[in-house]
Amino acid sequence: MSTKGTKIPDWLTVPFAGITPAPTQEKGQDLFPTGNWRAIRPVYRDKLPPCNNACGTNEKIQGYLDLVKRGKYLDAYALIKEDMPFPSVTGRVCYHPCEQACNRGKYDEAISIRAVERFLGDLGQALTNDVVQAGKPNGKKVAVVGSGPAGHSAAYQLARLGYKVTILEKSPKAGGLNRGGIPDWVLPQNVLDREVERLKQLGIEIRTNCEVGKDVSWDDLKKNYDACVLAVGLIDPNSIRAEGENKEGVLYGLPFLRDIGMGTSKVKLGARVAVIGGGNTAIDCAREALRQGAIEVTMITVEGNQEEMPAVPEDLHDMLEEGVELIHGRACVAVLGNGKVEALHLHPAKFSGAVNASPINIDREAKPEKFAVDNVIIAVGQHASLNWLPAEFKNERGTIKADKFGRLGDTNFFAAGDIVQLGSGQPLMVVNAVGDGKRVAFNLDKVLRGEALQPRTIPVDVIFDLNRMNMTYFPHFPRIQQTLLPPKTRKKTQDEVIQSFTEEQAVEEANRCFSCGTCNACDNCYLVCPEPCIARPERSNGLYKILVDYCKGCRVCIEECPTGCLEGVPELDFDTGVVRMDTAFAITPGLHGRQAEQLKHLDERAPKNI
Amino acid sequence: MPVAEAKKRMVRINGCVASAQAAKYADVDVIAAYPIRPYTATMMALAQMVANGELDAEYIVADSEHSQLSIAHGAASAGARVFTGSSGVGVQFAYELYSPISGSRMPVQMMIADRTLDPPGDFGSEHTDALSTRDMGWIMGWSCDAQEAFDNHLIAYRIGEDRRVLLPQMVCQDGFFVSHITGDVELPDGGQVREFLPPYKHPYPLDPRRPVSHGPQIMPEQGPPLQLERARAMEESMAVIEQAHEEFGKIFGRKYDPWLEEYKTDDAEVVFFLQGAHAVTARFAIQHMRERGIKVGMVRLRTIRPYPTERVQDSLSKFKVVGVIETNMALGSVSSGGALYAEAAAALYEADKRPLMMSFMAGMGGEAIVLKEFYWMTEKMIEAQKKGKIEKRTHWVGFEH
């Protein structure tokens, strides 16, 4: 009898056959401190998804796609509303830099983020009461000059911060560029009206027909408000400095669209219309011209080809589908006609340097081409109209001189949107103006609360490399395209060209999201952990916990994390709460005895029904 | 019990069916099956019983013996009484599981109908398959006929499931000689079995309502206590084995010595030492030789794990010559023959009187050991007895003159 006379010391007494209380139980961790074997610790570190990063206002895109995926539409809408006052608008008009940045684009096709945003925006439109509430009033008054995207956004965020906001709008209707620069068939007026209503519901006063410099002076703003956001936009159209530009039948892009948008247009277009310019406004003008009765619409651009045009590619595509012709590499040097435009003189032209960022060289020696038209719409950009602004706050570009926080000197005046962004390199797009308005609102708030403005210094980690994720988890799946009205009929109406997603489509599209670098509670780590080292207190986003006393650092969860949010961090990087490797084989004496004791108690514990 | 009543329950069945009947009487909860000849007939019979509703059990067909034993392990962890089985190379394919099952103290029962290991394919009985797992912590023994096989299954469950033991059991029978040859088997009545074998309950089954961790990773220093506990369980099972056999005899009327069957050994000078079915032929051979005045007998080992060292010492030291009939291969071992010699010799080392010992490689590959071979082996033993020494330790029976 070999075991005769043997005795296991108390501190080494093992539980029956090594069976122990499960390590997930209250005391189980303590009994099996195998965490000290670990050299690498799994850590949940959410990265910034590339879509969020690319968005002009840093919408939490991955976040709301995830919520849509789970059918939590209202939560998704509330999340989007943190950064974007009018998803119903951007869901229609945005140039969606998020989709260009989408990692899925490198894999099969980018996610149709804008369509999902529109789905959420329309959901918000249908709510009787918006989910957003005005902040607790702080007794301070702010004027926002202009109700375009930047002004709208700044006013919205300020109201949420508790300010009493007054919007001063020179037009008879609020909306700025959203109303005056975007045609009905892209953004129906009633959608925008609803968003303006939402602003009023936040307690924001909107004074229309109120122009700074005419109805209100600089000093009035200074005297009557604690602070002011200038979001006046670029409203005066640029000239092409062509001979005879003042003839009847010569129109300018933004005013042309604005008058139609405001319902004040008296224009009757002839059969042949030329649009000068190659940007988004020019495209909108060309397409609007068709809807205003023009038969032949031709677009004349200095850019040598379609790729060089600073336009959203799908809008360009839709325009060509509607039958607009393109003439590249030409500039108009003269508008011919007897009092009224009859023809244009076109000369070869190109940019002297970088495309769209350098002066234009026109070959004036060349024999001019005569191009017969009934109307010409000039859409080559806008400039500021700032007669009322003290000279010290003007810069050489003719826009407002503000620091990087949007503040004018050390005043309580701030500027946001195109009026400060022109020439900054940032595209002058709705979403960028919204982002600018948001950031300026927060900066203004800081200044009024007496806090210092400091640039953000925390580095952001954006996943651009698909290899940082586990792509084996993502089957290829095509993007769901929004349906469009047929070009033949749509070009004669103001009906919205692009159609909404159905609920099923929105969910299916959201389901394609990789959730790049961000935990989306997929449970994969929880399932693959070979030992119960991952606790899941709740099945909701980011709420996993690594039981570090027990985790041996096998890295399976890290390797198998589909989104790349789990990272392996060298154990030596941690200095608290760690049992180091040098104690690995010297567990507390008595541990095993305690385990055995625990097991005895298990017998006494009545099983809970599950 | 009235003899007439018992006679009514007499059936003529082979060893495989006897094993299946035993599993049915033990009312097993889970059966893990995977076919390999010759034990397959047991699983065929059980499948029929489950299909007919005679037995209420989960009958799981695995995709290999490894899975079969894994299923058995898992089912036992959840608290089930488990029956499984295999033969030959199938026994070895499951090798990984033998230690974990005994180490986690799961009283799984495995029926073995021996089959020679490859190469090449040979269906005949040779004990090497099961014997190769003999040190894995399983209670192990051989039956020599269908009735004994039936009885050993019930006894083994009773031993293995005893709280003092909690170890798996391998209940072995020779392929063909037992598994496929019919014999008279007396089936018990249900009441007898209920009295002998109470329902099984593991102390710490896997149960989501009371979570425990089975087989967790341990520290090196936690290993020795666990091994010591397992060794202790094996040793302490000896008392339980004796008690179980005694109680079995009382309830069923068939009394077995748990360790050794001694046949005509009272005045024997030379004896065969063997296990399994060849004992049946040996008994006839001994009868014939006794008629001619030769003092020959037989000692049959019934339980090889735990090994009855003291009993083997006491018994074998009485004789002049012991001829071990191996029916198994232990290539390059101490006798260059089989495993039985080595252990019997080791057991006798400390004995006051040691017999001469020789090893007979007989019954290999499933060959029957015929009467004249028993006579030949007896001659060899008597020759050694006369000379007072062993001139050749191991003989390949049938290949020498």
Return the amino acid letter for B205. P
DSSP letters spanning B94-155: THHHHHHHHHTT---EEEEE--PPSSS---S--THHHHTTTTSS-EEEEESSHHHHHHHHHH
For chain B, say whether A531 makes contact (Cβ under 8 Å).
Answer: yes
Q: State chain A's mean pLDDT as an integer.
A: 89
Closest partner CB to A22 (pick from B213, B219, B226): B213
Question: Using 50, 70 and 90 to split pLDDT, how confident is the model at A71?
Answer: very high
Range A333-354 average pLDDT: 90
In this structure, of A422-426, A442-446, B124-128, the range with the lowest mean pLDDT score is A422-426
The pLDDT tens digits of the residues spanning B89-117 come to: 999 999 999 999 999 999 999 999 999 99
User: To the nearest whole angstrom, how far is the Cα of A6 from the nearest Cα of chain B?
Assistant: 9
Percentage of residues of chain B with pLDDT beyond 70 = 98
A135 in a structural domain: no
Could you tell me the residue ranges of all domains in chain B?
A: 3-252, 260-396
Instruction: Burial-class residue B293 by CB neighbours within 10 Å (0-12, 13-18, 19+).
Output: exposed
Contact criterion met (CB below 8 Å) for B174 and B280: no
A478 in a structural domain: yes
User: To the nearest whole angstrom, how far is the Cα of B18 from the nearest Cα of chain A?
Assistant: 33
Percentage of residues of chain A with pLDDT beyond 70 = 94
Helix residue ranges, H only, A565-608: 591-604
Nearest alpha carbon to residue B143 among B1, B225, B254: B254
Cα torsion through A363, A369, A373, A378, rounded to 10: -10
b/e per residue A152-163 (b: at least 16 CB within 10 A):
bbbbbbbbbbbb
Residue whose entry in the numeric block shows the structure tokens 């309502």 = B209
- CATH 3.40.50.920 for domain B260-396, yes or no, is yes
Q: Is A423 left (phi over 0), alpha (psi -120 to 50) or beta?
A: left
Residues A498 and B99: their CA atoms lie apart, in Å, by: 68
Paired sense of beta strands A296-300 and A325-327, if any: parallel
- Do residues A286 and A399 both lie within one domain? no
A28 in a structural domain: yes
Nearest alpha carbon to residue B60 among B78, B74, B77, B79: B74
Interface probe with B: pick from A3, A547, A579, most Cβ of B within 10 Å: A3
Question: Using 50, 70 and 90 to split pLDDT, how confident is the model at B5?
Answer: low
Closest partner CB to A21 (pick from B207, B213, B225): B213
- Do residues A310 and A283 both lie within one domain? yes
Q: What's residue A588's pLDDT?
A: 60
- Do residues A247 and A354 both lie within one domain? yes
Closest partner CB to B215 (pick from A6, A18, A532): A18
Q: What's residue B7's pLDDT?
A: 66
The pLDDT tens digits of the residues spanning A276-327 come to: 999 999 999 999 999 999 999 999 999 999 998 888 888 999 999 999 999 9
What token pair was written down for A475? Answer: 């089957």
CA dihedral sign of residues B92, B93, B98, B99:
positive
User: To the nearest whole angstrom, how far is the Cα of A536 from the nearest Cα of chain B?
Assistant: 16
Q: What's residue B295's pLDDT?
A: 97
Residue ranges with strand state E in B309-355: 321-325
In chain A, the residue whose alpha carbon lies closest to the alpha carbon of B219 is: A585
Q: What's residue A582's pLDDT?
A: 45
Range A200-210 average pLDDT: 95
Number of separate domains in chain A: 4
In this structure, of A571-580, B43-52, B118-127, B159-168, the range with the lowest mean pLDDT score is A571-580
Q: What's residue A542's pLDDT?
A: 59
pLDDT at A540 over 60: no
CATH number at residue A593: 3.30.70.20
Q: What's residue A39's pLDDT?
A: 85
A226 in a structural domain: yes
- Do residues A172 and A205 both lie within one domain? yes
- Do residues A301 and A275 both lie within one domain? yes
Interface probe with B: pick from A10, A12, A16, most Cβ of B within 10 Å: A16
In chain A, the residue whose alpha carbon lies closest to the alpha carbon of B104 is: A17
Contact criterion met (CB below 8 Å) for A146 and A454: no
Return the amino acid letter for A238. N
Question: Using 50, 70 and 90 to split pLDDT, how confident is the model at A609?
Answer: confident
Percentage of residues of chain B with pLDDT beyond 90 = 89
Q: Is A71 left (phi over 0), alpha (psi -120 to 50) or beta?
A: left
Range A38-49 average pLDDT: 88
Q: What's residue B3's pLDDT?
A: 60
Q: Would you call B225 and A8 a contact, using CB atoms and an 8 Å cutoff? A: yes
- Do residues A274 and A149 both lie within one domain? no
Q: What's residue A12's pLDDT?
A: 81
Contact criterion met (CB below 8 Å) for A542 and A44: yes
Q: Which residues of B touch A592 (CB under 8 A)?
A: 222, 225
DSSP letters spanning A359-401: PEEE-TTSPPEEEE-SEEEE-S-EE---TTS-GGGB-TTSSB-
Q: Would you call B103 and A531 a contact, using CB atoms and an 8 Å cutoff? A: no
Residues A93 and A315: their CA atoms lie apart, in Å, by: 10
Residues A257 and A247: their CA atoms lie apart, in Å, by: 19
Q: What's residue A586's pLDDT?
A: 45
Quick check: helix, strand or coil at residue A204? coil
What token pair was written down for A525? Answer: 């780590």
- Do residues A482 and A527 both lie within one domain? no
In this structure, of A350-354, B14-18, B243-247, B386-390, the range with the lowest mean pLDDT score is A350-354
Closest partner CB to B207 (pick from A17, A585, A607): A607
Q: Would you call A6 and B209 a contact, using CB atoms and an 8 Å cutoff? A: no
Closest partner CB to B208 (pick from A21, A23, A610): A610
pLDDT at A30 over 70: no
Cα torsion through A505, A507, A511, A513, rounded to 10: 90
pLDDT at B172 over 80: yes
For chain B, say whether A20 makes contact (Cβ under 8 Å).
Answer: yes
Q: What's residue A584's pLDDT?
A: 43
Interface of B with A in 259-318 (CB under 8 A): none
Q: Would you call A3 and B235 a contact, using CB atoms and an 8 Å cutoff? A: yes
Closest partner CB to A32 (pick from B105, B216, B235): B216
Contact criterion met (CB below 8 Å) for A373 and A274: yes
Residue whose entry in the numeric block shows the structure tokens 């519901």 = A201
- Do residues A268 and A325 both lie within one domain? yes
User: To the nearest whole angstrom, how far is the Cα of B228 from the nearest Cα of chain A?
Assistant: 7
What token pair was written down for A44? Answer: 């949940």
Q: Would you call A16 and B203 a contact, using CB atoms and an 8 Å cutoff? A: yes
User: To the nearest whole angstrom, how far is the Cα of B25 from the nearest Cα of chain A?
Assistant: 29
Task: Tell me which CATH code domain B3-252 carries.
Answer: 3.40.50.970
Interface of A with B in 541-570 (CB under 8 A): 552
The pLDDT tens digits of the residues spanning A363-394 come to: 888 898 999 999 999 999 888 888 889 989 99
Q: What's residue A14's pLDDT?
A: 81
Percentage of residues of chain A with pLDDT beyond 90 = 60
Interface probe with B: pick from A4, A10, A14, A597, most Cβ of B within 10 Å: A14
- Do residues A351 and A245 both lie within one domain? yes
Residues B116 and B130: their CA atoms lie apart, in Å, by: 10
Range B332-349 average pLDDT: 95
Question: Using 50, 70 and 90 to split pLDDT, how confident is the model at B121?
Answer: confident
- Do residues A492 and A434 both lie within one domain? no
Range A158-183 average pLDDT: 93
Nearest alpha carbon to residue B395 among B369, B371, B363, B360: B360
Q: How many helices (H) and strands (E) does chain A have?
A: 21, 21
Interface of A with B in 29-48 (CB under 8 A): 32, 34
Q: What's residue B183's pLDDT?
A: 94
CATH number at residue A389: 3.50.50.60
For chain B, say whether A138 makes contact (Cβ under 8 Å).
Answer: no
Residues A141 and B43: their CA atoms lie apart, in Å, by: 88
For chain B, say whether A8 makes contact (Cβ under 8 Å).
Answer: yes
The pLDDT tens digits of the residues spanning A126-136 come to: 999 999 999 99
A3 in a structural domain: no
A610 in a structural domain: no
pLDDT at B212 over 90: no
Structural domain span for residue A571: 10-47+519-604
Residues A66 and A60: their CA atoms lie apart, in Å, by: 10
User: To the nearest whole angstrom, how far is the Cα of A100 from the nearest Cα of chain B?
Assistant: 49
- Do residues A220 and A202 both lie within one domain? yes
Return the amino acid letter for A105. G
| DSSP 8-state assignment for residue B223 | H
Nearest alpha carbon to residue B224 among A454, A367, A3: A3
Q: What's residue A577's pLDDT?
A: 56
- Do residues A116 and A246 both lie within one domain? no
CATH number at residue A99: 1.10.1060.10
Q: What's residue A114's pLDDT?
A: 96
For chain B, say whether A16 makes contact (Cβ under 8 Å).
Answer: yes
Nearest alpha carbon to residue A461 among A404, A516, A417: A516
